């Protein structure tokens, strides 16, 4: 009995001696010439002093109808980071969570869309972060990740600016293949109807072929790809177009991590699989995880753990 009491007391003392240290959250407002108004951000700074070279930086992007607080309030990201850093599952890093409105992380000022968020978040924001915080300023110390619309944004940034990011992670990313040429002049309503029926096409009672996986959230694009939605402009900005360009240029690409739920109600596993197959065919670095779950925060709170581990291995 005495031995059991002593053991329990020892465990308790050891727990007190190694508590989980909490990182700090700060709300910041960053000037942006590209937008003409500040970018609201939340910054997670890890506990302890930065290394001599500075912390690596992760830009963590929200989804549609989210903002800079989404990962904190809904994703419990602070507790996840505190725990993983304390357990040495990942090295300390600075995490920057910007508000991007419903911009789809592209420049759209000239289209009367939400604004030039791509330029703001790939130029104005990193410049401010790297002069405000003790962080690394090299490609090998910079990564980007996001969920849903933010997953599209993370891959869009990584492929458009491969010299800036060492890794990218897409959680249930809004990934669609390019809209086929015969469909480019269809109205948004016609495209919406096609997106709901065209992926699996029955040729005859015994044969099913895969059709085009086109966007099924056209009404959510908010002018980012033209008003009304412009299929040609979407293809121009779309991930598969940018990836094809980088492959043809023989450019180095960031390591990419794709994860999506098998019950995703937007059926975004289609795009994730197509993206992974494209990366594999071109012998480019990429990993795919299909996990159990829908397009919901309960999945993303778990999925971010392995995404962070993947990113940590690239720093």
**Residue 174 confidence (pLDDT):** 97
Q: Are 61 and 68 in contact (CB under 8 A)?
A: no
Residues 82-91, mean pLDDT to the nearest whole number: 99
**Residue 289 confidence (pLDDT):** 99
Statement: residue 8 has pLDDT above 80: no
Summarize pLDDT for 128-165 with one digit per residue, the tens: 999 999 999 999 999 999 999 999 999 999 999 999 99
CA angle 177/183/186 to nearest 5° reads 120
Domains of the chain in sequence order: 12-180+236-314 (3.40.50.1820)
3-state SS of the chain is CHHHHHHHHHHHHHHHHCCCCCCEEEEEEECCCCCCCCEEEEEEECCCCCCCCCECEEEEECCCCCCCCHHHHCCCHHHHHHHHHHCCCCCCCEEEEECCCCCCCCECHHHCCCCEHHHHHHHHHHHHHHHHCCECCCHHHEEEEEECHHHHHHHHHHHHCCCCCCEEEEECCCCCCCCCHHHCCCCHHHHHHHHCCCCEEEEECCEEEECCCCCCCHHHCCCCCCCCCCHHHHHHHCHHHHHHHHHHHCCCCCEEEEEEECCCCCCCHHHHHHHHHHHHHCCCCEEEEEECCCCCHHHHHHHHHHHHHHHHHHC
Residues contacting 256, CB < 8 A, separation 6+: 155, 158, 167, 168, 169, 170, 275, 279, 284, 285, 286, 287
CA distance 57 to 289: 23
Summarize pLDDT for 219-245 with one digit per residue, the tens: 789 999 999 999 999 999 999 999 999
Greater pLDDT, 203 or 40: 40
Q: Which of 65, 60, 246 is nearest to 170 (CA)?
A: 60
- Residue 12 — pLDDT band, cuts 50, 70, 90? very low
**Residue pointed to by tokens 């308790």:** 12
- Residue 180 — pLDDT band, cuts 50, 70, 90? confident
Summarize pLDDT for 22-75 with one digit per residue, the tens: 899 999 999 999 999 999 999 999 999 999 999 999 999 999 999 999 999 999
Percentage of residues in the chain with pLDDT exceeding 70? 87
Residues 95-103, mean pLDDT to the nearest whole number: 99
Q: Are 309 and 278 in contact (CB under 8 A)?
A: no
Residues 192-212, mean pLDDT to the nearest whole number: 57
pTM: 0.90
Q: Are 147 and 172 in contact (CB under 8 A)?
A: yes
Please give the structure tokens belonging to residue 53.
């070279």
Residues 82-95, mean pLDDT to the nearest whole number: 99
Q: Which residues pair with 170 in a beta bridge?
A: 146, 258
**Residue 191 confidence (pLDDT):** 82
CA distance 126 to 110: 23
Greater pLDDT, 189 or 279: 279
């Amino acid at each position: 009995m005495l031995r059991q009491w002593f053991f329990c007391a020892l465990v308790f003392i050891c727990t007190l001696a190694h508590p989980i240290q909490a990182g700090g959250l700060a709300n910041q407002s960053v000037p942006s010439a590209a937008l003409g108004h500040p970018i609201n951000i939340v910054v997670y700074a890890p506990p302890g002093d930065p290394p001599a070279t500075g912390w690596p930086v992760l830009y963590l992007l929200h989804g549609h109808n989210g903002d800079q607080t989404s990962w904190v309030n809904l994703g419990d990201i602070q507790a996840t980071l505190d725990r993983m850093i304390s357990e040495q599952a990942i090295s300390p890093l600075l995490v920057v969570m910007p508000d991007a409105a419903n911009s789809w992380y592209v420049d759209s000022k000239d289209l009367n869309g939400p604004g030039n968020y791509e330029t703001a978040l790939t130029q104005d924001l990193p410049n401010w972060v790297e002069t405000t915080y003790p962080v690394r300023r090299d490609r090998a110390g910079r990564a980007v990740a996001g969920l849903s619309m933010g997953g599209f944004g993370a891959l869009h940034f990584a492929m458009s600016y491969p010299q800036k990011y060492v890794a990218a992670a897409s959680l249930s990313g809004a990934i669609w293949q390019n809209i086929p040429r015969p469909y480019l002049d269809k109205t948004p309503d016609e495209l919406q109807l096609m997106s709901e029926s065209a992926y699996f096409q029955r040729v005859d009672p015994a044969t099913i072929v895969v059709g085009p996986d086109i966007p099924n959230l056209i009404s959510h694009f908010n002018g980012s790809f033209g008003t009304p939605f412009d299929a040609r402009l979407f293809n121009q900005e779309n991930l598969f177009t940018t990836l094809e360009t980088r492959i043809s240029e023989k450019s180095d690409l960031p390591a990419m991590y794709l994860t999506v739920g098998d019950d995703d109600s937007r059926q975004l596993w289609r795009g994730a699989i197509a993206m992974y197959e494209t990366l594999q065919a071109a012998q480019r670095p990429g990993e795919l995880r299909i996990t159990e779950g829908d397009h919901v925060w309960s999945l993303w709170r778990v999925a971010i753990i392995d995404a962070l581990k993947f990113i940590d291995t690239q720093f």
